[in-house]
Amino acid sequence: MQIALETWRYLADAAHWSGDDGMLRLLGQQLLITVTALLAALVIGLPLALWLGHVGRGGFLAINISNVGRAVPTFALLGLFVTADWPGTATLGPYGRAGLSTLIALTLFALPPIITNAYVAIREVPGELQEAAAGMGMTPWQRFWRLELPLALPLVGTGVRLALVQVWATATIAAMVAGPGLGRVITDGFYRSNYPKGVAGAVVVAAVALVLEIGSAYALARATSRTPQTVAPAVAKP
């Protein structure tokens, strides 16, 4: 109970939120790392997974390779990257020390849920709808854009939402190589036996993760709320 009260006092102190080392600035840094890594994973993984799902080839290999990535700890990847000549520990603009190493490790961590969900979503489009669309004269790309993608969007979005929350929570590892983010608050607090500080950093990370989860779930629900109305005309009118 004492730790909880001291943690609350730490969070309620405005001095801990302001300045170059304040939690507000560190929160912004971690959001930047998270969004950048997620966008990189989307650019790399999403087109590949959607294409493989559309053509129905190579999916087994892609999914299993991405699943291997789940088994490799992100911190281990980061450790390998920072000890190599490249990408190493060089500072990368606002991403801080070992910025490129951190971004690569987090991008690889975000790929499995994006690739797996996108591929499975396309492959699970009912075969009878595919046949009906083909019988109406739709080209393969028309079937993809007007039938497969709208039906796959909920599961694709779920993969992106999962990757977002996971990358946000894992981005605290940047502090292990003296990088930016709220991980610095957590590691510094526990290293110096200032447990309220360390717990406060963890609470902020958890709270933002909850906000990201709820916000992305709401955005996904809004984006997919009209899917049934858009798919039916696509099949009826090639």
pLDDT digits 0-9 by tens, 146-192? 899 999 999 999 999 999 999 999 999 999 999 999 999 999 999 99
Which pLDDT does position 236 carry in this prediction? 46
Which element (helix H / strand E) includes 129?
Answer: helix 127-135
Residue % of the chain over a pLDDT of 90: 70
- Top pLDDT among 221 and 226 is at 221
* Average pLDDT score over residue span 17-21: 91
Supply the range of the domain harboring residue 201. 2-236
Range name among 126-130, 203-207, 217-221 with the lowest pLDDT average = 126-130
Q: How confident is the model at residue 216, as a pLDDT?
A: 95
Band of residue 226 on the pLDDT scale cut at 50, 70, 90:
low
pLDDT tens by residue, 74-114: 989 999 999 999 999 999 999 999 999 999 999 999 999 99
Residues 29-69 have pLDDT tens digits of: 999 999 999 999 999 999 999 999 888 877 777 777 777 76
Residue 236 burial (C-beta neighbours within 10 Å; 0-12, 13-18, 19+): exposed
Find, among 157, 151, 156, the residue nearest to 234 by Cα: 151
Question: Is residue 232 predicted with pLDDT exceeding 60?
Answer: no
Q: What is the pLDDT of residue 227?
A: 57
DSSP string, 214-238: HHHHHHHHHHHTTHHHHHHHHHH--
Q: Name the token pair of 168.
A: 């946000």
Which of 90-94, 199-203, 215-219, 221-225 has the weakest average pLDDT? Answer: 221-225
Give the pLDDT confidence score for residue 207 in this predicted structure. Answer: 97
Q: Cβ distance 235 to 165 under 8 Å?
A: no
Total of domains in the chain: 1
Closest CA to 207 of 6, 1, 74, 8: 8
* Alpha carbons 54 and 141: distance in angstroms, whole number: 9
Task: Write down the pLDDT at residue 56.
Answer: 81
Q: What is the CATH number of the domain that holds 109?
A: 1.10.3720.10
Q: Categorize the per-residue pLDDT at 238 as very low, low, confident or very high, splitting at 50, 70 and 90.
A: very low
* Residue 131, both tokens: 């046949």
- What pLDDT does 191 receive? 93
**Burial group, residue 167, by CB count within 10 angstroms (0-12, 13-18, 19+):** buried
